[in-house]
Chain A
Amino acid sequence: MSKKIVKYNKNIQNTAEEMNNTMILLFGLKLLYYYKEVRPQFSNGKQIITWDNHIPDRANCGPFFTTLKQYEHILKSGAFHCILFDGSIIRSAFIFDSNNLINHSHLWWPAPYNNESYIEEVTPQSKYEDFINDSNWKKRLRMRSPIRIDFDPKNMNDNHPLVHMHIQHQETRIHIDKPICFNKFVKYIFQNFYSSIDLDFRKWNLLDFSYEKSEIYGHISSRIII
């Protein structure tokens, strides 16, 4: 408990509260093995939400995308927000400049192994260790690509849509209409990759990040298509 309450802007606060609420909800529904409460922070004059041990440009992205090394690194360094019941990982980062969202990155890293049952007794790490050391790993291997959805106005160009999805390869960038909130990402993941799970999304808050003008990012082009 602290008497000093740092004031964050409304949007980052909403984003953090949305993430926390959803993770508590999923945890209660036994769809998460573990989650970490989100707290906004200040960084270089911006307000950000990110995962623990966020070290850019190491095993986090680039050539390591889709490699076991990346999954292992994220898992072992605790650089995630939550671990799903099947050992898959979700994490999200947001950067706000005042009340404007200027960057986000959502990642779902599916567990590389077939999970027959909910992780309960063993930890995700030991489950992973068990898998890679198993002489029978070929039978247990499950090949699924991570999904990353980024909102990255700084690097926007013809081949780099403002909001895009990485799948299968680091240079794949599938156009996405507009920045999305944590709930929308989680909803997308569950609807597409866990469709047998009956989750009621009707009451989920969805934060709407939409920008009519892109001037703040230095682009003179017309409004971003939503």
Chain B
Amino acid sequence: MSFDVVRGKVNKINPTQSLVKNITRYFENKHDSGTLFLGYPLSAGSESKVTIDALLVSKRCGLIAFIFPEDSNSPELIMEEQDTLYYHLDYNFKKYISLKKGRDLAFEPIVVSVFPDDSYPNIEGEYTLISIEEIEKVLNENQDFSFDVYKRLCEVLQRVANIKPKKKRQNVKKELSFGGKIKKIEREIANLDQWQKKAALELPEGPQRIRGLAGSGKTIVLALKAAYLHSQFPEWNIAITFYTRSLSQQFKDLIRQFYFEFSSEEPDWGKVNIVHAWGTSFENGIYSIAARSVNVTPLNFNTAKMKYGRINAFSGVCEELLPYFGDDYEPVFDAVLIDEAQDLPSTFYKIIFQLTKKPKRITWAYDELQNLSEIEMPSLAEMFGRDSEGNLNVILEKNPDEAQMDIVLPICYRNPPWALTLAHALGFGIYRDKGMIQMFDELKLWEDIGYQRISGRLQYGNKIILKRSTKSTPEYFADLLKPEESVQSKVFKSAEEQYKWVSNQIKNNIEYDELDPDDILVIFPDAYRSNKESIDFRKSLNQLGIKSVLAGVDTDRDTFKMPEYISCSSIYRAKGNEAPMVYIVNANHCSDGLELIKLRNILFTAITRSRAWIRICGVGEGMDLLQEEINKCIEKGYILDFKLPTKEELESIRRINRERTQEEVKKINLAQSNVKQLIEGFEKGELDPELIPELEVLLNVYKKSKMSDNEDE
């Protein structure tokens, strides 16, 4: 038996609870499976939107819709309610060819009015009226539903809303071309899965956390949730917020599309606020709304950077604002939905907490891995603080009888399993000769993010083999792609040779592989040099007559892709975006060096931008090193085979590879260039070591530090 309740908007709490209890009892006693949706929104009919109090779909009983009538309802009104709902169900499901048989529906929806006790009126004919205690009886009476129709019905119900692929791809002629394959993948992704649907509709009386890998559909879930909330509570003031500017348009499109399904209308954008986390003088952001709401001038990035430095700019301005919220502050929003929560500082959540009315319907979605292990999500105490008695302001309770407050989306739709495994292998330095670079603090996370253990136990110091689990991998990847086609890498002698090769490949992608230019993304991992590098690279594209843009430089800051143009992008602009074909050029930048964690995270982020194909290119020795790591991963058949570090090892790995302050970086760079100068001087015979007695001191200091390192180990 499997039975699940999806808890959306509940209008009548007591009857709903009794209903859930009775239906649960039925599933406990009977060999049946199904799902009960509370507050299920039907696609809009011609006139109005319809939300069903409770809708059950079960393998044996089929589809049963429950109405909780008002006590005062007359028999006529009860009949009318049932007729109307029946009409809507019939209208709604007839839209799906898979649910039709001839001209009619392939099944008969059952509509039942449920009363608290048996004092309901007696109505003759096709109307079913029952007391809450009689539910099991009704279910037992309807036991001959077709399994085939049940399966199709589930598919339709799960879909909730249709996300149409953005591109029609009419130019695709060959089924097996890259274009043909991505067309199929896009169609598959268009269907929501049961976890996404549950995450979107579940509506707890309080905060909710949604976790999932990049590409598990968090943005879609949040957009659907926003549309659902807006359709159920049109008077609510809802905010959707994020850090990557380009998400704004995506949210607007998705929410409009979903809301239209529920109500056939344009959302009221005065109530649904899609706002950046910070905001500028020209656009509202959560922070700027908050600041203005307490009569404080919101600081812009430039000013904040001066005060708090680049890295702490946002957390600094939020912190500065917090004391202005007094006990008598009147919150602005009924619900706040936060995407990319991992990119936002904990002080920002404290502001959100102030801005949100009770019961603090704050939903935040994040990817634990977007930054790998470097920046961990702050704890609930850090995010939302504690009350005057020291209790957490926000608690994520696990109560099986209530809507889920903590949801994990397990399937990664965006990345092929091979690319994802390789991204993790390189990101963590699993196959790096000089040793691993970083590791999760919580080893259990490996399983949470969709790896299965082939051997070994997840304990510090243990040997382990991990592989992407089939459960977390959509089938279409294996059906449509081969690993050797999906993942490729190449070492070049010079940047020019590399650019030429990539440009020619792109030409092929467009001319023979049936990809559109805007399906192709070229990522420059070195953010500081990406402008210059892209100018050089685009020369070779221009030579072949291929048009391209440098995102955020040639385009306005919210535009990432343009039809007919290849997108080139620095790694920071590429975050949050994706493309079927991704070329990483000059990947050697990430192979070794200072702040290796940061460099490898860049590589991880770059690889995980790819929806189907990834090409990792680079130059020289650095790329040779990366290529070795890539080869090992491929030879082993895309598994992660490694020894987990001990806790002490982990500590030392972190220390070496951590992010440094600008001051530290300057010092190290200066020292490096001085030493290089010395070496050059000696090699050219311009310097005589005998004349520099400090050299001996230097050697001794170096030896000593090596010795103490060994003692540490």
Chain A contacts to B: CB under 8 angstroms: 1-3, 5, 13-14, 16-18, 20-22, 24-25, 28-29, 37-38, 203-205, 207
Could you jot down 30 A-B contacts, CB within 8 Å?
Answer: A1-B294, A1-B295, A1-B329, A2-B295, A3-B328, A3-B329, A3-B330, A5-B292, A5-B295, A13-B292, A14-B281, A17-B281, A17-B297, A17-B300, A18-B281, A21-B302, A21-B303, A22-B303, A24-B299, A24-B303, A24-B307, A25-B302, A25-B303, A28-B306, A37-B297, A38-B297, A203-B302, A205-B281, A205-B302, A207-B281
Q: Is B282 an interface residue (CB 8 A)?
A: yes
Chain A CB within 10 Å — which of B301, B306, B307 has the most?
A: B306
Residue among A16, A17, A28, A203 with most chain B CB within 10 A: A17
Task: Give chain A residues whose Cβ lies under 8 Å from the Cβ of B301.
Answer: 203
CB-based contact B302/A1 at 8 Å: no
Given A1-B324, A1-B326, A3-B328, residue A21 in contact with residue B300 (CB < 8 A) = yes
Listed from nearest, the 7 A-B pairs whose CB atoms lie closest are A20-B297, A14-B281, A21-B303, A203-B302, A25-B303, A28-B306, A21-B300
Q: Mark B269-281, 1 if CB is under 8 A from A, else 0.
A: 0000000000011
Which residues of chain B are near A16, meaning CB under 8 Å? 297
Residue B177 CB within 8 A of the other chain: no
Interface residue? B298 (CB, 8 A): yes
Chain B residue at minimum C-beta to C-beta distance from A21:
B303
What residue of chain B has the Cβ atom nearest to residue A201's Cβ?
B302
Are A21 and B295 in contact, with the CB atoms below 8 A?
no
Residue of B nearest to A203 (CB): B302
Interface status of B452 (Cβ within 8 A of chain A): no
Residues of B within 8 A of A20 (CB): 297
Interchain nearest-CB distance for A21 vs B (Å): 4
B293 with A5: CB separation less than 8 A: yes
Residues of B within 8 A of A29 (CB): 306
Q: Residue on A with the closest CB to B328?
A: A3
For the complex, give the distance between the alpha carbons of A153 and B389 in Å.
Answer: 61
A24–B306 CA distance with the chains assembled, in angstroms: 9
Q: Which residues of A contact B299 (CB under 8 A)?
A: 21, 24
Q: Which residues, 310 to 344 on B, are CB-close (under 8 Å) to A?
A: 324, 326, 328-330
A sample of 14 more A-B contacts (CB under 8 A), given A17-B298, A18-B281, A205-B300, is: A1-B294, A1-B324, A2-B295, A5-B295, A16-B297, A17-B281, A21-B303, A25-B302, A25-B306, A28-B306, A37-B297, A203-B301, A205-B280, A205-B281
Residues of chain A lying within 8 A (CB to CB) of residue B306: 24-25, 28-29
Interfacial chain A residues near B282, Cβ < 8 Å: 14
Shortest Cβ gap from A206 to chain B (Å): 11
Residue of A3, A204, A207 contacting most chain B CB atoms (<10 Å): A3
The residue of chain A having its C-beta at the shortest distance from the C-beta of B293 within the complex is A5
Q: How far is the CB of A209 from chain B (nearest CB, A)?
A: 14
Distance of A204 Cα from B301 Cα, bound (Å): 10
Query: Which of A5, A18, A25 is packed against the most chain B CB atoms within 10 Å?
Result: A25
Give per-residue flags for B120-162: 1 if the beta carbon is below 8 A from chain A beta carbons, else 0.
Answer: 0000000000000000000000000000000000000000000
Q: B297 touches which one: A1, A21, A204 (CB < 8 A)?
A: A21
**Distance from B569 Cβ to chain A, minimum over Cβ atoms (Å):** 21
A3 to B328, CA, bound (A): 8
B412 to A: closest C-beta gap in Å: 37
Residues of A within 8 A of B329 (CB): 1, 3
Residues of A near B328 (CB, < 8 A) are 3
Q: How far is the CB of B21 from chain A (nearest CB, A)?
A: 44
Please measure, in the bound complex, the distance between the C-alpha atom of A24 and the C-alpha atom of B297, giving whole angstroms.
10
Q: Which residues of the partner chain B approach A204 to less than 8 Å between Cβ atoms?
A: 302
Q: How far apart are the CA atoms of A18 and B298 in the complex, in Å?
A: 9
Name B371-424 residues within 8 Å CB distance of A. Answer: none
Q: What residues of B have a CB within 8 angstroms of the CB of A21 in the complex?
A: 297, 299-300, 302-303
B280 proximity list for chain A (CB < 8 A):
205
Bound-state Cα–Cα, A205 to B300, Å = 9
* A145→B306 CA distance, assembly (Å): 31
Separation of A22 and B281 alpha carbons in the complex (Å): 13
User: In residues 5-35 of chain B, which contact A (Cβ within 8 Å)?
Assistant: none
Complex: chain A residue closest to B323, CB-CB: A1
Distance in angstroms between the alpha carbons of A207 and B280 in the assembled complex: 12
* Chain B residues within an 8 Å CB radius of A5: 292-293, 295
Chain B residue at smallest Cβ distance from A4: B295
Chain B residues with Cβ below 8 Å from A24 are 299, 303, 306-307
Most buried by B among A13, A21, A38: A21
Nearest CB of chain B from residue A52's CB, rounded to whole Å:
17
Output the least CB separation between A27 and chain B (Å).
9
Cα–Cα, bound, A59→B293 (Å):
38
CB-CB < 8 A to A205: which residues of B? 280-281, 300, 302
A28 to B670, CA, bound (A): 28
A188 to B329, CA, bound (A): 41
Report the bound CA distance from A200 to B563 in whole Å. 35
Kindly provide the distance from the CB of B251 to the nearest chain A CB, expressed in whole angstroms: 23
| Minimum CB distance partner of B294 in chain A | A1
In the complex, chain B residues whose CB is within 8 Å of the CB of A1? 294-295, 324, 326, 329
Measured between beta carbons, the chain A residues less than 8 angstroms from B302 are 21, 25, 203-205
Q: List B residues 431-467 near A (Cβ within 8 Å).
A: none
Q: Which residues of B contact A25 (CB under 8 A)?
A: 302-303, 306
Q: Closest approach, in angstroms, between the C-beta of A151 and any C-beta of chain B?
A: 20
Interface residues of B in 52-66 (CB under 8 A from A): none
The closest CB in chain B to the CB of A14 belongs to B281
Closest-by-CB residue of A relative to B326 is: A1
Q: Which residues of A contact B281 (CB under 8 A)?
A: 13-14, 17-18, 205, 207
Closest to A38 in B: B297
* Assembled-state Cα–Cα distance A24/B296 (Å): 13
- A contact residues around B330 at 8 Å (CB): 3
CA distance A85 to B477 in the complex (A): 64
User: A22 contacts which chain B residues (CB < 8 A)?
Assistant: 303
Contacts of A38 in B (CB 8 A): 297
* Complexed CA–CA distance, A14 and B288 (Å): 11
Distance, CA A22 to CA B300, complexed state (A): 9
Report A-chain residues with C-beta under 8 Å of the C-beta of B324: 1
Alpha-carbon distance A203/B301, docked complex (angstroms) = 9
Q: Which residue of A lies closest to B301 (CB)?
A: A203
Please name all residues of chain B whose beta carbon is closer than 8 Å to the beta carbon of A203 when the two chains form the complex.
Answer: 301-302
Distance of A183 from chain B, by nearest CB (Å): 10
| Closest chain B CB from A41 CB (angstroms) | 13
Report the bound CA distance from A2 to B295 in whole Å. 7
Point out the residues of chain B lying under 8 angstroms from A28, CB to CB.
303, 306-307
Closest to A200 in B: B302
Which among B292, B293, B297, B324 has the greatest number of chain A C-beta atoms within 10 A?
B297
What is the CB-to-nearest-CB distance from A221 to chain B, in angstroms, rounded to a whole number?
Answer: 30
Smallest CB separation, B322 vs chain A (Å): 12
Question: Smallest CB–CB gap between A34 and chain B, Å?
Answer: 17
A29 to B295, CA, bound (A): 25
CB distance from A197 to the nearest CB of B (A): 14
Least distance between B283 CB and chain A CB atoms (Å): 11
Chain B positions within 8 Å of A2 at CB level: 295
Cα A203 to Cα B326 with chains together (Å): 33
A111 to chain B, nearest CB (A): 24
Q: Which residue of B lies closest to A2 (CB)?
A: B295
Complexed CA–CA distance, A25 and B308 (Å): 11
Chain B positions within 8 Å of A13 at CB level: 281, 292
CB distance from A17 to the nearest CB of B (A): 5
B297 to chain A, nearest CB (A): 4
Of all chain B residues, the one with the shortest Cβ separation from A8 is B292
How many Å lie between the Cα of A17 and that of B279 in the bound state?
A: 12
In the bound complex, how far is the Cα of B342 from the Cα of A161, in angstroms?
A: 54
Question: Given the complex, which residues of A lie within 8 Å of B298, measured CB to CB?
Answer: 17
A188 to B298, CA, bound (A): 24
> Nearest chain A CB to B292's CB is how many angstroms away?
7
Chain B residues near A14: list those with CB within 8 A.
Answer: 281-282
Question: What's the minimum C-beta distance from B58 to chain A, rounded to whole angstroms?
Answer: 52
Minimum distance in angstroms from A171 CB to a CB of chain B: 36
Q: Which residues of A contact B293 (CB under 8 A)?
A: 5
State in angstroms the CA–CA spacing of A7 and B298 once bound together: 15
